[in-house]
Structure 1
Amino acid sequence: MKAKALKQGFQKLDGGQVLDFVRYRKSNQGTKASSDFERNDRQQQVIKQKLEKFSAFQGISQWERVIDIIGKNVKSDILEGNIKQWMLNFPKLKLN
């Protein structure tokens, strides 16, 4: 993985860049290895941002699109009805 300098603050990243960000094994200065705790913190930052973004979705058409995209890219033995119910309850989640 090639290091990419990110400026402090909000960044808009594509999927590959997000994976690079959460998996990066150097410190912010690139001088030492980052700890598992630092990588976990980065993963939590990404998950929190995604939860906030998904919670802001308005309208059933956007949720149907998300469910369709997930359905085409994820294999699971969870019943479709259960997934749809979870998705409908998703915006009610509390972030802390």
Structure 2
Amino acid sequence: MKSKGYIVVIAVLGMILFSPAASKPAFAYEKIVDFILKVYPDGPATAIPDDFLKSGSDDDYGFAHEGYLDGFKIICRSKGGKIKSLHAQKQFN
């Protein structure tokens, strides 16, 4: 009976240790996931952060918004107040 208790304790500790919420990379990707959930195609262009560099005009291609978030380069295209596309690329040093 004691060995079953130890196995349960070891299993719980293992799950806590190896769970994505307890590891550092999970927290690093949390901001990018929150960003992508807020800024999505056909969503409002006002959701794009103001500190992103805005270039272009509201013509056939629309505006390009470029910014960096947690090591990701993010490019959004917007036209007519709506987001048309979203691209995130991991930056390597």
TM (normalized to structure 1)? Answer: 0.31
Which of the pair is proportionally richer in helix? 1
Which of the pair is proportionally richer in strand? 2
TM (normalized to structure 2)? Answer: 0.31
Larger Rg computed on CA atoms: 2
